[in-house]
């Protein structure tokens, strides 16, 4: 599936429907895959951290979770840019929605205590999702062994198709890189704050905000401590414009 390069990070440009088709393919091919959900913060982080950039670039799918990426893709590539924003939480919801008819099972890892369980309850109720287990666990490598032990125990002899990992930008992708090969799961997806939304702990921006590309502003108003992190949005805009000017004929 075609990707474009945004400041050294390869991003898929397809629509959500096309992405979902690809997800179905990789879930069926009996190999290990992972999916990343970059936003501008990821791209800024990847400028300094080449290992992180490499992890992002080896993903089967890298969907544009932030509207900033859609904007940058269109500025740099015109019509070849991203067709639409594909938020990680929307992709996760869609995978869970179509999971029962595909006979997929899932595991939820990460977020604060109780949040993954609540998220699982909501998804079971809404879609009849087969959740093999949940675990908040530890994002850093010192917790890997214990996390894997618990995940394996909970999955047992069953076949687990997806693990959604909610440890935030950087940490979740590193976790997937260190652990995916060692757990009985086919596809790992880094989903950031998705469990917080799907559990009902944090309210998602109203549709109007999302349609206007202002979800980041809504999140900032609900969680003002994010302002420091959202400075990377300004840095991202600067880097993209700089790139555009440099590439001008
Ligand atoms: N999180 C976690 N352990 C950590 C860091 C983060 O479980 O060491 C969880 C956090 O509780 C949240 C999720 O990771 O549910 C995503 O965090 P954040 O909101 O920062 O991610 P974003 O959506 O902004 O990428």
Atom of ligand 1 nearest to the CA of 136: 7
pLDDT in tens, 170-216: 999 999 999 999 999 999 999 999 999 999 999 999 999 999 999 98
- Residue 229 in this model has a pLDDT that exceeds 90: no
Residues 6+ apart with CB under 8 A from 39: 64, 65, 66, 68, 69, 169
Could you identify the atom of ligand 1 that is nearest to the CA of residue 139? Answer: 8
In this structure, the residue with its CA closest to atom 15 of ligand 1 is: 111
Q: Are 20 and 61 in contact (CB under 8 A)?
A: no
Q: Indicate whether 227 pLDDT > 90.
A: no
pLDDT, mean of residues 33-40 = 97
Whole-number Å distance, alpha carbon 77 to ligand 1 midpoint, is 31
Q: Which of 129, 204, 192, 145 is nearest to 165 (CA)?
A: 192
For the chain, give the percent of residues with pLDDT over 70: 100
pLDDT tens for each residue of 43-70: 999 999 999 999 999 999 999 999 999 9
> How much of the chain is in helix, strand and coil states, percent to nearest 5?
55, 15, 30
Average pLDDT of the chain is 96
What is the rounded CA–CA span in Å between residue 78 and residue 74?
A: 4
Name the 3-class secondary structure at 13: coil
Banded model confidence at residue 249, pLDDT cuts 50, 70, 90: low
pLDDT value of position 224 = 87
Q: What is the per-residue pLDDT across 12-26, written as a single tens digit (0 to 9) for each?
A: 999 999 999 999 999
Instruction: Kindly give the distance from the C-alpha atom of residue 141 to the centroid of ligand 1, in angstroms, as a whole number.
Output: 16
Name the residue with the closest Cα to ligand 1, atom 17: 168
Taking the C-alpha atoms of residue 1 and residue 21, their distance in angstroms, rounded to an integer, is 11
């Amino acid at each position: 599936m075609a990707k474009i390069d945004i400041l050294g990070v390869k991003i898929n440009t397809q629509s959500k429907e096309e992405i979902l088709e690809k997800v179905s393919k990789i879930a069926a091919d009996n190999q290990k895959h992972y999916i990343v959900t970059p936003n501008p913060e990821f791209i800024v982080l990847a400028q300094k951290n080449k290992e992180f950039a490499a992890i992002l670039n080896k993903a089967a799918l890298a969907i544009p979770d932030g509207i900033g990426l859609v904007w940058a893709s269109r500025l740099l590539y015109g019509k070849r840019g991203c067709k639409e924003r594909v938020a990680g939480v929307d992709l996760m919801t869609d995978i869970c929605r179509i999971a029962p008819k595909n006979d997929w099972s899932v595991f939820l890892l990460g977020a604060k205590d109780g949040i993954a369980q609540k998220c699982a309850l909501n998804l079971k109720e809404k879609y009849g999702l087969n959740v093999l287990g949940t675990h908040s666990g530890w994002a850093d490598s010192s917790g890997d062994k214990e996390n894997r032990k618990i995940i394996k125990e909970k999955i047992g002899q069953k076949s687990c198709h997806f693990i959604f990992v909610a440890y935030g930008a950087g940490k979740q992708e590193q976790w997937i890189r260190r652990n995916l090969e060692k757990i009985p799961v086919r596809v790992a997806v880094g989903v950031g704050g998705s469990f917080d939304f799907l559990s009902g702990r944090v309210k998602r921006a109203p549709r109007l905000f999302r349609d206007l590309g202002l979800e980041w502003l809504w999140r900032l108003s609900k969680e003002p401590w994010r302002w420091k992190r959202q400075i990377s949005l300004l840095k991202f805009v600067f880097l993209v414009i700089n790139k555009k000017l440099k590439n001008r004929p």
